[in-house]
Amino acid sequence: MAKSLMIVDDSATMRKIIMRTVRMSGLKFERTEEAGNGAEALQKLGGSPVDIILCDVNMPEMMGTELVKKVRELDSCANTKIVMVSTESSKELIDGVMADGANGFINKPFTPEKFQEKLSPLID
Amino acid sequence: MATSQTEVESQAVELSAEAFEAFCDDISGMFGADMACEQQDVTTVTVKDLKKHFKKLTAVNSVKAEGVMDGTFQLVFDQGGLFTLSGVIVMMPANRILEEIKRGTVEDMEAMNDAIGETGNLLVGTWDRVFREGLEGHGHFVQSNSFIGKPWDEPEKTIGLAADGEFVFVSYEMTIGEYPAFKCGVIFPRTIFGSKSDAEQAASAQEEPKEKPATEEAAATEEKAEPAQEEPEEKPATEEATATEEKAEPAQEEPEEKPATEEATAEQKEADADTDASDNTIEEKPAVTDEKEESKEPAAGVVSETIQKMAESPAVLPGESTDIFLAICAKDIMEKNIIWGNPDDSVQQVLAKMQQADAGYTMVGSDGALEGIVSKSDIAGAISPYLRPIFAKWRRPLDDATLQIKTKWIMTRPVHTVSPDTSLAAIMQNMSQLGQRGLPVVDKQGKVQGLVTVFDIFRFMLNDNPNVSMIGKTSKAPPLI
Ligand SMILES: [Mg+2]
């Protein structure tokens, strides 16, 4: 089944890097969206939900951790998988965001292999 | 738990090597760039010493540490590191990166602010991971500030470093691919190692002074007073190299001899400002402005030389006269079946098209309007040599990844073109001066009508069977992939 992806990161450079790495990982998405902050992400998700969200943690305005909670309140995103992508890797952060409804955590810096490993179980 | 200050300090110094190495591995893994680093020195320094180490633009990432290391420390990169790293991360063309390393300004840096910020972010991420795994009692590291510029005259204000403080400085030399080595390091204020359980350490007068304007001023004056004697007596080889380089370029001015890459960059900037390809159309007169122009394809040298000799010498082939070089025009010998690609096409897509058509060049653009040109040599230079069938055994995913590079990053632009009525003599002269083996033929409306390659010229001159096409053929060469 055709899958869709949204990349949420406040850095345009990082969004491009993530996009490139996803492509290099061999994972195929029919539709890919980008959002520079939580509000933009929510707005886009309201219109058309996606299968996977790759979400930064540290973002101005709305933290990724907050976005996870908000997405989980959306009925349209009931089947959406959220994978956090962050340089911060403290146990408290990971545990907290997973408890709030995230489905996975990828540390920056990452490799295409890491995306493959963490995302493919969520896609199938 | 590590208790004494010295113990934490030595562990931190040890881990910093591991962290920089891990960072190299991470970036290599992410971007397929070969990266390595080597520890140079562990020294106690003052701000004045740091200034000698980092004379040009410097990137300073301040990192807030919590846990057994408590306080703020700095990760620094010199100008080379700054531009090389962020350039590689945004996949900037190599010639642009080399240019920025030499002459990049704060403005150039601002244009890359986002990339530089993310580079710092990735760096701190790696450090946090390595220290979490290796240092007992590690809380966490968070990037608290990043500064780009010359921080050493007002270190407290710019990067939060006490002007008269004493620091542990661990310096490294880092390399990425073929780019020149650059300097980076970590600056630990001594106070950061003071463990809370260590009463006698806390009591010792190592604390960072908050403000001591008098001494700061003294230091500043002292610095002003010593214009030339800044060089320390013994310095590591790398520093000497940097110092020499700096002496060679007093200001931001252009030196006499510029590297080939600079022209390319200058040209690119021009192209950015003015995309009208017809501006570069060469009419009857040979390209006079292009003595600066460097060949993107060094291999063209021999061929070009031959052509040049042929063009210059009055030697005439059997049955021909020199007039023929003037009488024959581009439109008479050009190949009309040309291949087009999109700037966003991957190298893999372009290569597939070229191999299908057995063509040596792809025009990049749309609706007959030319944005760039890609030769097989451009592609060979961009993709991993391990993609060749004979290296199949060693082929790894990162080699395959190079096939995803976009055409726009490797294409040559602006494109030198000729008009349909440019004479063969002018074409040959231009080819030899530009070091280019193929020139697109563009009409007055800016539409591409065809392509003239050295093979078309050979075919014409040798009176070969005109039905046999030799356009840019490289069939004798091993396949690229
Ligand atoms: Mg961020």
Q: Using one digit for the tens of pLDDT, what is the confidence trace for B62-106?
A: 999 999 999 999 999 999 999 999 888 888 888 889 998 988 888
> Where is B30: in which H helix or E strand?
helix B5-31
What 3-state class would DSSP assign to B58?
strand
CA distance B64 to chain A (A): 13
pLDDT band at A41 (very low <50, low <70, confident <90, very high): very high
Alpha-carbon B273 to chain mean position: 21
As separate numbers, helices (DSSP H) first and strands (DSSP E) second, chain B gives 20, 13
Output the average pLDDT for chain B: 74
In a domain, B476, yes or no: no
Contact B143, B63 (CB under 8 A): yes
What 3-state class would DSSP assign to B52?
helix
d(Cα B334, Cα B454) in Å, to the nearest integer? Answer: 10
Q: Note the pLDDT of residue B9.
A: 92
> Where is B312: in which H helix or E strand?
helix B300-312
Chain B residue with the nearest C-alpha to that of A90: B140
Tell me the CATH number of domain A4-123, given options 3.40.50.2300, 3.40.50.300, 3.40.50.1000, 3.40.50.1220.
3.40.50.2300
In a domain, B417, yes or no: yes
Q: Note the pLDDT of residue B391.
A: 77
CA distance A49 to chain B (A): 27
Q: Is the pLDDT of residue B312 over 90?
A: no
Please list the residues that pair with B275 across neighbouring strands.
none
Q: Note the pLDDT of residue B114.
A: 85
d(Cα B195, Cα B178) in Å, to the nearest integer? Answer: 42
In a domain, B101, yes or no: yes
Question: Which chain B residues have a beta carbon less than 8 Å from that of A108?
Answer: 121-122, 125
Q: Take residue A92 and report the two structure tokens written for it.
A: 């408290």
d(Cα B445, Cα B417) in Å, to the nearest integer? Answer: 13
Please list the residues that pair with B76 across neighbouring strands.
B60, B185
In a domain, B432, yes or no: yes
CA distance B275 to chain A (A): 25
pLDDT band at B322 (very low <50, low <70, confident <90, very high): low
For residues B125 and B209, membership in a common domain is answered with no
The arithmetic mean of pLDDT across residues B262-276, rounded, is 39
Q: Note the pLDDT of residue B400.
A: 82
Q: Which H, E and C letters describe B349-378, residue by residue?
A: HHHHHHHHHCCCEEEEEECCEEEEEEEHHH
Chain B residue with the nearest C-alpha to that of A22: B30
Of the candidates A92, A97, A122, A116, the one whose C-alpha atom is nearest the C-alpha of residue A25 is A116
Q: Note the pLDDT of residue B357.
A: 80
Q: Is B363 exposed, middle or buried (0-12, 13-18, 19+ CB in 10 A)?
A: buried
Cα A94–A99–A104 angle (5° rounding)? Answer: 50
CA distance A73 to chain B (A): 30
Of the candidates B348, B361, B178, B350, the one whose C-alpha atom is nearest the C-alpha of residue B261 is B178
The arithmetic mean of pLDDT across residues B279-293, rounded, is 41
**Of B64 and B381, more confident:** B64
For residues B291 and B386, membership in a common domain is answered with no
In a domain, B470, yes or no: no
Q: Is the pLDDT of residue B213 over 50?
A: no
Q: Which H, E and C letters describe A49-68, residue by residue?
A: CCCEEEEECCCCCCCHHHHH
Q: Is the pLDDT of residue B276 over 70?
A: no
Identify the CATH number of the domain in which residue B145 sits: 3.40.1550.10
d(Cα B60, Cα B74) in Å, to the nearest integer? Answer: 6
In a domain, B159, yes or no: yes
Phi, psi of A94 (to 5 degrees): -60, -50
For residues B157 and B232, membership in a common domain is answered with no
Q: Take residue B149 and report the two structure tokens written for it.
A: 């510029």
- Any idea what DSSP says for residue B188? E
The arithmetic mean of pLDDT across residues A47-53, rounded, is 92
Question: Which chain B residues have a beta carbon less than 8 Å from that of A10?
Answer: none
Choose from A111, A114, A116 for mutation: most chain B CBs within 10 A: A111
Q: Which H, E and C letters describe B190-205, residue by residue?
A: HHHHCCCCCHHHHHCC
pLDDT band at B303 (very low <50, low <70, confident <90, very high): very low
Phi, psi of B370 (to 5 degrees): -95, 125
Q: Take residue A114 and report the two structure tokens written for it.
A: 């890491």
For residues B99 and B222, membership in a common domain is answered with no
**Of B150 and A2, more confident:** B150
d(Cα B384, Cα B379) in Å, to the nearest integer? Answer: 10
Look at A88 and B125 and tell me if their CB atoms are within 8 Å.
yes
For residues B26 and B48, membership in a common domain is answered with yes
Q: Note the pLDDT of residue B12.
A: 94
The arithmetic mean of pLDDT across residues B428-440, rounded, is 87
Torsion sign (Cα): B90, B95, B96, B102: positive
Q: Note the pLDDT of residue B471.
A: 52
Domain range annotation of chain A: 4-123
**Of B478 and B120, more confident:** B120
- Any idea what DSSP says for residue B65? E
pLDDT band at B416 (very low <50, low <70, confident <90, very high): confident
Torsion sign (Cα): B148, B79, B25, B384: positive
Q: Note the pLDDT of residue B315.
A: 45
Contact A33, A4 (CB under 8 A): yes
Q: Note the pLDDT of residue B415.
A: 86
Q: Note the pLDDT of residue B479.
A: 60
In a domain, B471, yes or no: no
The CA–CA distances, whole Å, from B426 to B291, B319, B326, B419, B460 equal: 15, 21, 8, 11, 15
Which of B103-141 are b and which e, b meaning 16 or more Cβ less than 10 Å from the residue's Cβ?
bbeeeebeebebbbbbbbbbbbbbbbbbbbeebebbbbb
User: Within a 10 A sphere around the Cβ of B480, how many other Cβ atoms?
Assistant: 18
- The number of domains in chain B is 4
Please list the residues that pair with B442 across neighbouring strands.
B448
Q: Is the pLDDT of residue B229 over 80?
A: no
Look at A16 and B132 and tell me if their CB atoms are within 8 Å.
no
CB-side neighbour CA atoms (13 Å) of B61: 26
Residue ranges making up the domain that contains B287: 257-311
The arithmetic mean of pLDDT across residues B234-241, rounded, is 39
Cis peptide before B259 (omega within 30 of 0): no
Question: Which chain B residues have a beta carbon less than 8 Å from that of A11?
Answer: 114, 117-118, 121
Q: Is the pLDDT of residue B220 over 50?
A: no
d(Cα B427, Cα B412) in Å, to the nearest integer? Answer: 18
Q: Note the pLDDT of residue B236.
A: 40
Question: Which chain B residues have a beta carbon less than 8 Å from that of A113?
Answer: 29, 397
Q: Note the pLDDT of residue B469.
A: 52
Please list the residues that pair with A7 across neighbouring strands.
A34, A54
The arithmetic mean of pLDDT across residues B422-442, rounded, is 88
Residues from B contacting A (CB-CB < 8 Å) are 23, 26-27, 29-30, 89-90, 114-115, 117-118, 121-122, 124-126, 128-129, 132, 140, 142-143, 397, 401, 404
Look at B404 and A108 and tell me if their CB atoms are within 8 Å.
no
pLDDT band at B261 (very low <50, low <70, confident <90, very high): very low
Cis peptide before A121 (omega within 30 of 0): no
**Of B405 and B302, more confident:** B405
d(Cα A76, Cα A48) in Å, to the nearest integer? Answer: 8
In a domain, B66, yes or no: yes
Q: Note the pLDDT of residue B456.
A: 86
For residues B340 and B306, membership in a common domain is answered with no
Please list the residues that pair with B375 across neighbouring strands.
B361
**What is the Cα gyration radius of chain B?**
28
